[in-house]
Amino acid sequence: MTEQTQEKLFVLKASDDVNLGMGIFALVSLGGVFL
């Protein structure tokens, strides 16, 4: 695997983690509104 490929995979993984965090935050925020 080339260094460039590893870097791309790392960036994709990082953005996935950010999306997951945002999704959980949104769910918690919505839950707070409805409760």
1-35 pLDDT, tens digit each: 688 898 998 988 999 999 999 999 999 998 888 76
Q: How far is CA 5 from CA 1, 8, 10, in A?
A: 6, 5, 9
Q: Please tell me the distance from the alpha carbon of residue 30 to that of residue 4, in angstroms, as a whole number.
A: 39
Per-residue model confidence (pLDDT) at position 35? 63
Global pTM? 0.55
CA 31 to chain centre: 19
Q: How far apart are CA 27 and CA 17, in angstroms?
A: 15
The two three-digit tokens of residue 29, written as one number: 């925020």
